[in-house]
Amino acid sequence: MSDTTVNANRFQVAALALLVVFPLIPKVNAGLPSANQAATYAIVAASLVLLTGWVGQISLGHAALVGIGGYATGWAATVLGLPFPLNLPVAAVAAGGMAALLGQVALRVRGLYLAVATLIFSWAASEMLFRQQWILKYGSIPEFSIGREGTLLRFDFSNSRTAYFYIAWGIAIACLYGLTNLRDSKTGRAFFAIRGSEFAAASLGMDVLRYKTLAFTLSGALAGIAGCLIMTEARVISPDSFDFNKSLFYLAIAVVGGLASLPGAVAASVFFAFLGELFYRVSFLGDYLQLVSTALLAMVFRLYPGGLAALARVGLARVEARAAAKQAGMVVPRGPRGASPVDRLKGMFKGGTPAPIAGAPAPQPVAAPRPAPASSREGFLNLAGILEQAPAELDAPPVSDETMELTEVIEVIPRGAGAHDEVEAVEGEDIAFTKALSGKLQLPPGVVPPPPVDPDRRNERRLLIAAEHITVKFGGLVAVNDASLEVREGEIVGLIGPNGAGKTTLFNSIAGFNTPTTGRVTLYGHDVTNLPVNQRAAMGMARTFQRIQLFPQLTTFDNLLAATHLQNPTGFVQHMAVTRAAFVAEASARARVKQVIHLLDLDDVAYRKVGVLPFGVLRMVEVARALVTGSRVIMLDEPASGLDERETDRLTDVLRFVRDLGATLLLIEHDVRMVTSVSDYMYVLNQGAMIAEGGPAAIQSNEDVIAAYLGRSAESETAGV
């Protein structure tokens, strides 16, 4: 475990200690109102980190959501008679519900429509909603207190600022804890994956709209919680506190914090609250608060887009370098204290011994994780069963625990260091990664490859994919005309055709990226013609892309980890609370990824950011990612495009190997040599129509196919490969 985590944990402990003693410090504690404000800032900023930093969506109406939380608190207190802790969920549900509603509309579209929708919402809220009498009358709550008069437990909200301080920060820390756990879970990975590529995310079985809506709903609920806290402290709120400028202010806090970093958001919240206090106390500064804070925002954004979080990281690295220089060779022992569940997991899978879980039995060896329920469904291989046999030793990563850190949108970009350095890195690495392209592919013992395909007797095999009489029209253009194909269990099926033949269109109809004008697609015997991509993936269909759709900021390991989505049955509530089930599922997912990496000999590149890997290796990573999903059917879109001869040969071996593991493959390809050598059965498409099918030998000697490719026939317009 690296020193960074140790130091970061020390900071966390120090910050907590400061928080506990702050109200007890004389004089300083006069700033309690600001310190209380900082807690609500932190919650709203964290909610924006979730939405903007992780999912990449922008909200310009968060203050209005905070307002809804505030008024909902007022409503619950006056109408339902619910006092403070009880009206908190009401506020969260009201604001979260509003967000869900907005999200359902605005998040359907790729792009930043949420920014416009929340802008309109913010406008409509301040012009209309918050001016309605039936809402305004809930703008205050009655005074109330808990406990009997004269006892220690007596707690009067309006007079007890200190108690409120602990409550507000306690709630803020609970929110932050949940979000931190969420970030490094299946849900968090889905968020990052969606920001990286919605197509890839959907093809891994992620419901893009659902996750985007979930993110905005959670974000809105957090804003509602902040609204409840504001109302509880102030007892009176006015619509002016929730206008558009306030939304900008919240966004400013998140940006200064680093936009993707929760500790950064907290630091920025404290900083802005401090600034407010300072400008309030020093009277001649009073008028300049807005100017100074926005100028600061602009400067941070321009000069240091990574925000306070990036500054801290650089600072920590520097401190460590100095410490390391001082006591070379000394290893800082890492105690169990302060290790988050995620840290423990990281330790477990990165070569180190896992840090013990307090109160838990000794950690089980994770070599034999329980297969997740999803893998037993018909569309999925019993990958766990297959992999159980495989050795699972993986070298410790060369880079330490930065993997998830690298997913941040706004990374520290050293000024002056440009693309040049990156190119050099790629060229330098190319030699080092040859193992990923030449290592031995060995079937785990006990895995029996399927019998070779006899083109004449393939009907005896189980039908996995059937495309029946598919026609796809784009306006007046008929891209695919009444084409049918079948993919049967244990086969590698190749679909070839000259440029413009309609291969990709047909492929996309099967994969779910377009809907055929007429015709039917079945998967495992079920009609999937109108099912979206992610639902087909959930039935057991994985794919690779012609233009590689990996997440460049993530390591190979984390890219593959995102593909365990469907195998992980736990939900976001479990992820936030790190339940035992979530912990076990995460451990099982990591074990599976490790084994697949080992199986395909990608150990060398396991902990490299994929952004620096050579193209040929990226293809292998994409195939590995498809394999990690455990899907019985894997579809490959021109896998050999952009590969040289050596890489193509390797790909051929890898595809056969994947088939021998039990998968069934459908690929479209340009490279006729490659496709005839790897396929068990082939289909040839020309000008939208299927002109031939059969075994590779039959196809190679088929007159029509030769004519289509070489243009011997007079009426054929397409020529060449």
Partner 1 sequence: MGVLGQWITGIVLSLPLVGVYAIFAIGIVLMYRASKVLNLAHGVMATFPAYILYALSGWGIPLLIALPLAIAAGGGLGYLVQKLFVAPFRSMGETAQTVGTVVVLGLGIAIMATLWGAAPLLAVGVFPEVTFTVGQSGVRLGEIGLFATMLVIFFALQTLFSTTDFGLLMRGSAENPRAASLMGVNPELMTALSWILGGSLAGLAGIMLAGVTTLHPYSLPLQALPGFLAALLGGLGSISGAVVGGAIVGFVLGLVPLVPGLVQLQGAPQLMLAIIGMVVMARRGQTLVATDVRGGIV
Could you say whether residue 697 binds partner 1 (CB under 8 A)?
Answer: no
| Alpha-carbon distances of 663 from 29, 491, 564, 656, rounded to whole Å | 65, 8, 16, 9
Query: Which letter does DSSP use for residue 568 in this model?
Result: -
Q: Is 477 exposed, middle or buried (0-12, 13-18, 19+ CB in 10 A)?
A: exposed
Confirm or reject binding of residue 127 to partner 1 (CB under 8 A): yes
Cβ contact 69:237 at 8 Å: no
| Minimum distance, C-beta of residue 513 to partner 1, in the bound complex (Å) | 4
Name the amino acid, one letter, at 483: A
N-terminal to C-terminal alpha carbon distance within the chain = 53
> Contact region for partner 1 (CB under 8 A) — 293-301, 437-445, 561-569, 571-579?
293-301
Give which of 553, 546, 498 is closest to 712, Cα–Cα.
498
By CB under 8 A, tell whether 154 contacts partner 1.
Answer: no
Site for partner 1 in 361-390 (CB under 8 A): none
Other beta carbons within 10 angstroms of residue 440's beta carbon come to 7
Candidates 148-156, 425-433, 545-553, 647-655; binding stretch for partner 1 (CB under 8 A): 545-553
Q: Which residues contact 603 (CB under 8 A, 6 or more apart)?
A: 394, 395, 435, 597
Stretch that binds partner 1, among 243-251, 421-429, 489-497, 687-695 (CB under 8 A): 243-251
Q: Are 49 and 262 in contact (CB under 8 A)?
A: yes
> Per-residue string for binding with partner 1, 179-198, x by CB under 8 A?
----------------x-x-
Among 90, 99, 228, 251, binds partner 1 (CB under 8 A): 251
* Closer Cβ to partner 1, 587 or 640, answer by number: 640
Window 194-223: residues binding partner 1 (CB under 8 A): 195, 197, 199
Closer CB to partner 1, 298 or 577, in the complex: 298
* Closer CB to partner 1, 200 or 600, in the complex: 200
SS (H, E, C) 194-206: HHHCHHHHHHCCC
Q: How far is the CB of 222 from partner 1 (least distance, A)?
A: 19
Q: Rounded to a whole number, what is the largest CA-CA distance in the chain?
A: 103
Q: Is 245 a residue that touches partner 1 (CB under 8 A)?
A: yes
Q: Which residues pair with 542 in a beta bridge?
A: 634
Rule CB under 8 A: is residue 305 a binding residue for partner 1?
yes
Give the whole-angstrom CA distance, residue 510 versus residue 488. 14
Q: How far apart are CA 586 and CA 576, in angstroms?
A: 13
Q: Report, in Å, the least distance between residue 364 CB and partner 1.
A: 41
Q: Which residue has the tokens 């950011």?
A: 609
Q: Is 542 in the site for partner 1 (CB under 8 A)?
A: no
Q: Which two tokens stand for residue 608?
A: 């490299």
Q: Report the alpha-carbon distance of residue 470 to residue 389 in Å, rounded.
A: 41
Residue 120 or residue 443: which is nearer to partner 1 going by CB?
120
- Residue from 291, 331, 362, 417 that binds partner 1 (CB under 8 A)? 291
Cα angle vertex 120, ends 118, 122, to 5°? 65
CB of 614 to partner 1, least distance (A): 21
| Minimal distance, residue 267 CB to partner 1, in Å | 18
Alpha-carbon gap, residue 626 to 634, rounded angstroms? 7
CA nearest 299: which of 247, 248, 252?
A: 252
Mapped onto helix, strand or coil, the DSSP state of residue 686 is strand
Query: Can you tell me which of 27, 148, 302, 337 binds partner 1, judged by CB under 8 A?
Result: 302
Q: Which amino acid is at 470?
A: I
Residue 229: Cβ-neighbour burial (10 angstroms; 0-12, 13-18, 19+): buried
CB of 189 to partner 1, least distance (A): 18
CB 251 within 8 A of CB 90: no
Residue 582's identity, in one-letter code, is A
- Asked if residue 663 lies in contact with residue 632, where contact means CB atoms within 8 angstroms, the answer is yes
Residue 57 interacts with partner 1 (CB under 8 A)?
yes
The CB density around residue 669, as the number of other CB atoms within 10 Å, is: 23
Nearer to partner 1, 356 or 552 (CB): 552
Q: 691: phi > 0 → left, psi -120 to 50 → alpha, else beta; which?
A: alpha
- According to the binding rule CB under 8 A, does residue 446 interact with partner 1? no
DSSP classification of residue 212: H
Contact residue for partner 1 among 10, 20, 110, 422 (CB under 8 A): 110
The reply to whether 129 sits near partner 1 by the rule CB under 8 A is yes
Measured CA to CA in angstroms, residue 477 lies from 482, 505, 517, 684 at distances of: 14, 12, 12, 20
How many residues at the interface with partner 1, by CB under 8 A?
65
Nearer to partner 1, 111 or 351 (CB): 111
120-156 b/e with 16+ CB inside 10 Å = b? ebbeebbeebbeeeebbebbbbeeeeeeeeeeeeebe
Which is it for strands 463-474 and 518-523: parallel, antiparallel or unpaired? antiparallel
124 binds partner 1 (CB under 8 A): yes
CB under 8 A: which stretch of 219-227, 541-549, 650-658, 676-684 binds partner 1?
Answer: 541-549
By beta-carbon proximity to partner 1, the closer residue of 493 and 533 is 533
Q: Indicate which single residue of 11, 22, 123, 166 sits in contact with partner 1 (rule: CB under 8 A).
A: 123
CB of 34 vs partner 1, minimal distance in Å: 20
Residue of 10, 14, 16, 108 interacting with partner 1 (CB under 8 A): 108
Could you say whether residue 119 binds partner 1 (CB under 8 A)? yes
Question: Does position 60 bind partner 1 by CB under 8 A?
Answer: yes
Give the interface segment with partner 1, choosing from 217-225, 266-274, 504-512, 650-658 (CB under 8 A).
Answer: 504-512
In the list 37, 87, 544, 549, the residue contacting partner 1 (rule: CB under 8 A) is 549
* 157-to-148, 162, 615 alpha-carbon distances in Å: 14, 10, 62
- Least Å from the CB of residue 557 to partner 1: 23
Nearer to partner 1, 248 or 710 (CB): 248
Q: Is 692:501 a contact under the CB 8 Å cutoff?
A: no
Asked if 406 touches partner 1 (CB under 8 A), the answer is: no
Query: Applying CB under 8 A, which of residues 248, 332, 366, 581 lies at the interface with partner 1?
Result: 248
Q: Which is nearer to partner 1, 296 or 392 (CB)?
A: 296
Among 505, 595, 664, 686, binds partner 1 (CB under 8 A): 505
Choices 75-83, 348-356, 423-431, 542-550; region in contact with partner 1 by CB under 8 A: 542-550
Site residues (vs partner 1, CB under 8 A): 52, 56-58, 60, 102, 104-106, 108-113, 115-117, 119-121, 123-124, 127-129, 131-132, 195, 197, 199, 244-245, 248-249, 251-252, 255, 259, 287-288, 290-291, 293-295, 297-298, 301-302, 305, 409-411, 504-505, 508, 513-515, 532, 545-547, 549
